[in-house]
Amino acid sequence: MSIQKNNITKLCSFYVSDWHLVTMLLPYINKKINEEVEIATVLEKDIQNNVKTLVEKLNLKNERKILEINWKNKSKSIESIIEDKIGKEILIIVNGSKDFIKNYNDEISNYLELNIKKFENTSIKIVNCYEIVEFNGSIVEILDAHNKILNTSGEKEINEVFEDYNRKEKIS
Protein backbone atom coordinates (compact mmCIF):
# COMPACT_ATOMS: atom_id res chain seq x y z
CA MET A 1 0.00 0.00 0.00
CA SER A 2 1.62 3.25 -1.11
CA ILE A 3 0.00 5.37 1.61
CA GLN A 4 1.78 3.35 4.28
CA LYS A 5 5.21 4.02 2.83
CA ASN A 6 4.64 7.74 2.57
CA ASN A 7 2.19 8.68 5.26
CA ILE A 8 2.30 6.07 8.01
CA THR A 9 5.01 5.55 10.57
CA LYS A 10 4.64 2.63 12.95
CA LEU A 11 6.33 2.79 16.33
CA CYS A 12 6.46 0.07 18.93
CA SER A 13 6.85 0.56 22.63
CA PHE A 14 7.46 -1.89 25.45
CA TYR A 15 6.40 -1.40 29.06
CA VAL A 16 6.38 -3.42 32.30
CA SER A 17 3.24 -2.01 33.98
CA ASP A 18 0.41 0.42 33.33
CA TRP A 19 2.28 3.02 35.40
CA HIS A 20 5.38 2.58 33.25
CA LEU A 21 3.26 2.90 30.10
CA VAL A 22 1.70 6.16 31.26
CA THR A 23 5.04 7.53 32.50
CA MET A 24 6.56 6.87 29.10
CA LEU A 25 3.64 8.21 27.05
CA LEU A 26 2.91 11.48 28.87
CA PRO A 27 6.06 13.45 27.92
CA TYR A 28 5.74 12.26 24.31
CA ILE A 29 2.06 13.20 24.15
CA ASN A 30 2.75 16.56 25.78
CA LYS A 31 5.33 17.25 23.06
CA LYS A 32 2.94 16.15 20.30
CA ILE A 33 0.22 18.43 21.64
CA ASN A 34 2.71 21.32 21.43
CA GLU A 35 3.25 20.34 17.78
CA GLU A 36 -0.56 20.48 17.27
CA VAL A 37 -0.80 16.77 16.49
CA GLU A 38 -4.26 15.20 16.80
CA ILE A 39 -4.13 12.35 19.34
CA ALA A 40 -6.39 9.31 19.54
CA THR A 41 -6.22 6.20 21.68
CA VAL A 42 -7.44 2.65 21.20
CA LEU A 43 -7.07 0.87 24.51
CA GLU A 44 -8.13 -2.59 25.54
CA LYS A 45 -7.71 -1.62 29.21
CA ASP A 46 -8.77 1.57 31.00
CA ILE A 47 -5.74 3.63 32.16
CA GLN A 48 -7.59 6.87 32.87
CA ASN A 49 -6.93 6.83 36.64
CA ASN A 50 -3.19 6.31 36.09
CA VAL A 51 -3.07 9.21 33.62
CA LYS A 52 -5.06 11.49 35.92
CA THR A 53 -2.84 10.68 38.93
CA LEU A 54 0.41 11.30 37.05
CA VAL A 55 -0.80 14.43 35.28
CA GLU A 56 -1.78 15.90 38.66
CA LYS A 57 1.74 15.22 39.99
CA LEU A 58 3.61 16.52 36.97
CA ASN A 59 3.72 20.10 35.87
CA LEU A 60 2.72 19.65 32.24
CA LYS A 61 1.82 22.63 30.13
CA ASN A 62 -0.94 20.69 28.36
CA GLU A 63 -2.59 19.11 31.39
CA ARG A 64 -6.15 19.88 30.30
CA LYS A 65 -5.64 18.59 26.75
CA ILE A 66 -3.99 15.40 28.01
CA LEU A 67 -6.92 14.72 30.34
CA GLU A 68 -9.37 15.30 27.45
CA ILE A 69 -7.86 12.37 25.52
CA ASN A 70 -9.92 9.20 25.81
CA TRP A 71 -7.94 6.99 28.22
CA LYS A 72 -10.80 4.55 28.77
CA ASN A 73 -10.98 1.13 27.18
CA LYS A 74 -13.43 2.04 24.50
CA SER A 75 -12.57 0.78 21.06
CA LYS A 76 -13.84 3.00 18.32
CA SER A 77 -13.83 2.35 14.62
CA ILE A 78 -10.86 3.79 12.79
CA GLU A 79 -13.27 5.88 10.73
CA SER A 80 -14.69 7.59 13.82
CA ILE A 81 -11.18 8.30 15.12
CA ILE A 82 -9.55 9.84 12.06
CA GLU A 83 -12.32 10.98 9.70
CA ASP A 84 -12.44 14.52 11.16
CA LYS A 85 -8.63 14.78 11.18
CA ILE A 86 -7.96 14.45 7.44
CA GLY A 87 -5.07 16.65 6.34
CA LYS A 88 -3.63 16.89 9.85
CA GLU A 89 -0.93 14.92 11.61
CA ILE A 90 -2.51 12.12 13.64
CA LEU A 91 -1.04 10.05 16.46
CA ILE A 92 -2.90 6.84 17.30
CA ILE A 93 -1.87 4.99 20.46
CA VAL A 94 -2.89 1.32 20.44
CA ASN A 95 -2.52 -0.80 23.58
CA GLY A 96 -3.74 -4.26 24.42
CA SER A 97 -3.19 -7.95 23.80
CA LYS A 98 -1.35 -9.20 20.74
CA ASP A 99 -4.62 -10.00 18.96
CA PHE A 100 -6.14 -6.64 19.91
CA ILE A 101 -3.16 -4.71 18.52
CA LYS A 102 -2.96 -6.84 15.35
CA ASN A 103 -6.70 -6.59 14.66
CA TYR A 104 -6.74 -2.83 15.11
CA ASN A 105 -3.66 -2.34 12.92
CA ASP A 106 -5.32 -4.48 10.23
CA GLU A 107 -8.44 -2.32 10.50
CA ILE A 108 -6.35 0.84 10.07
CA SER A 109 -4.56 -0.59 7.01
CA ASN A 110 -7.79 -1.77 5.40
CA TYR A 111 -9.57 1.52 6.03
CA LEU A 112 -6.72 3.60 4.65
CA GLU A 113 -6.39 1.34 1.60
CA LEU A 114 -10.06 1.88 0.79
CA ASN A 115 -9.73 5.65 1.34
CA ILE A 116 -6.24 6.21 -0.06
CA LYS A 117 -7.10 9.42 -1.91
CA LYS A 118 -8.63 11.06 1.17
CA PHE A 119 -5.51 10.51 3.26
CA GLU A 120 -2.72 11.30 0.82
CA ASN A 121 -1.97 14.57 2.69
CA THR A 122 -2.40 13.12 6.17
CA SER A 123 0.55 11.96 8.25
CA ILE A 124 -0.30 9.14 10.64
CA LYS A 125 1.86 7.74 13.44
CA ILE A 126 0.72 4.55 15.10
CA VAL A 127 2.29 3.70 18.45
CA ASN A 128 1.68 0.05 19.33
CA CYS A 129 2.33 -0.47 23.04
CA TYR A 130 3.27 -3.99 24.14
CA GLU A 131 3.48 -5.28 27.69
CA ILE A 132 6.95 -6.84 27.78
CA VAL A 133 5.95 -9.87 29.87
CA GLU A 134 3.31 -10.90 27.34
CA PHE A 135 5.42 -10.27 24.24
CA ASN A 136 8.94 -11.10 25.40
CA GLY A 137 9.24 -14.12 23.08
CA SER A 138 8.25 -12.21 19.96
CA ILE A 139 10.20 -8.96 20.28
CA VAL A 140 12.10 -9.47 17.00
CA GLU A 141 8.81 -10.10 15.19
CA ILE A 142 7.39 -6.91 16.70
CA LEU A 143 10.48 -4.87 15.78
CA ASP A 144 10.34 -6.18 12.20
CA ALA A 145 6.80 -4.79 11.84
CA HIS A 146 7.70 -1.23 12.96
CA ASN A 147 9.76 1.72 11.70
CA LYS A 148 10.90 3.07 15.08
CA ILE A 149 10.66 2.51 18.80
CA LEU A 150 9.27 4.81 21.49
CA ASN A 151 10.80 4.69 24.94
CA THR A 152 11.16 7.07 27.88
CA SER A 153 13.61 9.23 25.91
CA GLY A 154 11.26 9.59 22.91
CA GLU A 155 11.27 8.28 19.35
CA LYS A 156 14.38 6.30 18.47
CA GLU A 157 15.65 4.26 15.56
CA ILE A 158 15.32 0.60 16.49
CA ASN A 159 19.10 0.08 16.10
CA GLU A 160 19.72 2.81 18.70
CA VAL A 161 17.87 0.79 21.32
CA PHE A 162 18.66 -2.74 20.13
CA GLU A 163 22.20 -2.42 18.75
CA ASP A 164 22.44 -6.00 17.46
CA TYR A 165 19.04 -5.92 15.74
CA ASN A 166 18.93 -6.63 12.00
CA ARG A 167 15.59 -6.21 10.22
CA LYS A 168 14.42 -9.54 8.83
CA GLU A 169 11.13 -8.51 7.24
CA LYS A 170 9.77 -5.47 5.50
CA ILE A 171 7.28 -3.27 7.28
CA SER A 172 3.75 -3.81 6.02
- Label residue 172 by pLDDT band (50, 70, 90): low
In terms of DSSP H, where are the helices of 11-70? 18-34, 48-57, 63-68
Listed range (73-77, 107-111, 142-146) with the worst mean pLDDT: 73-77
Residue 171 in domain: no
Q: In the chain, what is the straight-line distance between the N-terminal and C-terminal CA atoms, in Å?
A: 8
Question: Is pLDDT at 5 greater than 70 in this prediction?
Answer: no
Sign of CA dihedral 90, 94, 129, 115: negative
Q: What is the count of structural domains for the chain?
A: 1
Residue 47 in domain: yes
If you average pLDDT over residues 2-14, what whole number do you get?
75
Instruction: Look at residue 6 in the predicted model and tell me its pLDDT.
Output: 57
If you average pLDDT over residues 48-54, what whole number do you get?
94
Instruction: Look at residue 31 in the predicted model and tell me its pLDDT.
Output: 94
Q: What is the CATH number of the domain that holds 106?
A: 3.40.50
